[in-house]
Amino acid sequence: MHTATLGAPASPRLDNPSLLTVTRTEMARTRHGFLAWYTLLAPVVAAVPLFLGSLGSSEAAAGQLWEIFRNVTLEFWGVLVPITAALYAAMSVRADEDAWRLLFSYGVPRWRYLVGKFVALSALLALCTTLLCALLAVGALLTGRLADDWPTLVAAAYLPWLTGLACTALALVVALAWGTGPTIAVGVAGMLGGALVADKDFWWAVPVAWPMRVILPLAGIGPNGVPLPADSPLHDRGVIAPAIVLALSLTAVLLAVGAVHLTRKEI
């Protein structure tokens, strides 16, 4: 039996990637396949048919082509954010299922894998948002409304992304703990529940409603895409700041919970 205890310590160079490096490896894995295609196609599949459909609407005939296109597209976007977050998380975690055994056998702290994946998926959703924003901008340009409406357009596209970070974190934790099916279920429930709850007083208690809730006052629409009456309390933009604070706080909590789960996870 050996009695020596002086094994050389591991090189600090090894198994100590920065969060940026971990995120880059996540991005490298999502460059091919469903996530990449979804990111590129979802905004196009949403916006182009809606624009073409708007052309034949009565609102367009009344000279409100831009308004109807913008309203229905943003409404769709508010519904899409929770299910997109769920799809991203479910597919990304499923693709890693076999690889976790290898990745977790490294000296890399496991929380970095979680946060790296969260950052990568959030970046993908940001890219998706940017494409949608660009398509909306094209619609605004074609209808001569870009100069007036671009601040609203940018805010209504990116604030749902920001408040949707909590949806991404939630979906990621569910995917890691329970797998693909429950994650998709959370996404579908979020898609429906978000639209149903966004105009209720208790919207703040339902994270999947936050992306839609911030769209309502910015676009001046209800969760059904119909313009709000002038005296509607949903015009109040004071909800945006609390929604952002809630989203960022919940994201931090969920990532902490996910990190603990991943650290304790046995494979």
150 belongs to the binding site for another protein (CB under 8 A): no
Minimum CB distance to another protein smaller for 98 or for 201: 98
Task: Supply 22's token pair.
Answer: 């971990």
Piece in contact with another protein (CB under 8 A), picked from 91-99, 146-154, 214-222, 228-236: 91-99
Q: How far is CA 127 from CA 64, 140, 147, 199, 246, in A?
A: 28, 20, 23, 27, 23
Q: Is 266 in the site for another protein (CB under 8 A)?
A: yes
Shortest reach from residue 155's CB to another protein, in Å: 36
Closest to another protein by CB, 105 or 249: 105
Q: Does 14 bind another protein (CB under 8 A)?
A: yes
Give the number of other CB atoms < 10 A from CB of residue 1. Answer: 2
Contact 50, 76 (CB under 8 A): yes
Residues contacting residue 168 through CB under 8 Å, at least 6 positions apart: 85, 88, 89, 118, 121, 122, 125, 251
Least Å from the CB of residue 89 to another protein = 17
Q: Applying CB under 8 A, which of residues 22, 74, 90, 119 lies at the interface with another protein? A: 22
**CA 232 to CA 207: how far, in whole Å?**
22
Binds another protein by CB under 8 A, chosen from 48, 57, 60, 103 = 103
Centre a 10 Å sphere on the Cβ of residue 116 and count the other Cβ atoms it contains. Answer: 22
Contact track, another protein, 203-242, x by CB under 8 A: ----------------------------------------
What's the min distance (Å) between Cβ of 266 and another protein?
A: 5
Residues 11, 151, 231, 238: which binds another protein (CB under 8 A)?
Answer: 11
For residues 170 and 226, give the distance between their C-alpha atoms in angstroms, rounded to a whole number.
29
227 pairs with which residues across the strands? Answer: 221
Contacting residues toward another protein, per CB under 8 A: 1-11, 13-17, 21-22, 24-25, 28-29, 32-33, 95-96, 98-109, 264, 266-267
